[in-house]
Chain A
Amino acid sequence: MTQPLILWRTDMAVAQAEAQATRRMLLIDFSKQH
């Protein structure tokens, strides 16, 4: 599989601060490691 280029954040608090600063919404990928 191609390596995804999306830079996923893993800390919600950090992501929320970034969303606040950029007026963006959060896209949350809820997943599970197999």
Chain B
Amino acid sequence: MTYPDSQVQTFVEQHFVPVRLVLNDDAAKPLFRQYGVLWTPTVGVADRRGKLQYQSPGFLPPTALLDAMRLGLGRALLAWARYDEAAEHFGSVADTRSAQAPEALYWQGVAWYLKARRRAPMMVAWNRLRAEYPDSVWALRVPPNQETFEEQ
């Protein structure tokens, strides 16, 4: 795993309580089953009740791992109705224009909708998603019958 990267270390220390569960450890093994983790390495983000909110399987280079951690943190914050913080992390990933940017824009739209309970803010992110990543599976998740939404 790419944890020796200093940017990754800093992000982990700033935002998470880091836990390492090793499959060979008898005490940790049941947690793999409990969380439905089928493959190592997997990076997960869980909330303080221990509910897993996000999984990222396999190895990732540092910049992609950083994006995955931001996405996971955003998803967990979303589940706890911390919409502004979630949207901020999704926005950081979107601005990198990395491979994970389309997923980040999708969830940024969700965060903005859940905060305002209005479509207009959501469609700002989703229109950007459709414009910048039209071939992404995340753009396909936006209902196709919605034409480009003009903010009112």
Contacts and interface: CB of A to CB of B under 8 A. Distances in A.
Interface string B8-42: 01001101111111111100100110010100111
Contacts of A8: 18-20
A28 B52 contact: yes
A3 B4 CA distance: 7
B44 A28 contact: yes
Contacts of A32: 22-24, 40-41
Contact of A26 (B1, B9, B17, B41): B17
A26 B16 contact: yes
Interface string A5-34: 111111010011011101111111111110
Interface of A: 1-10, 12, 15-16, 18-20, 22-33
Interface of B: 1, 3-4, 9, 12-13, 15-25, 28, 31-32, 35, 37, 40-50, 52-53, 69, 72-73, 76-77
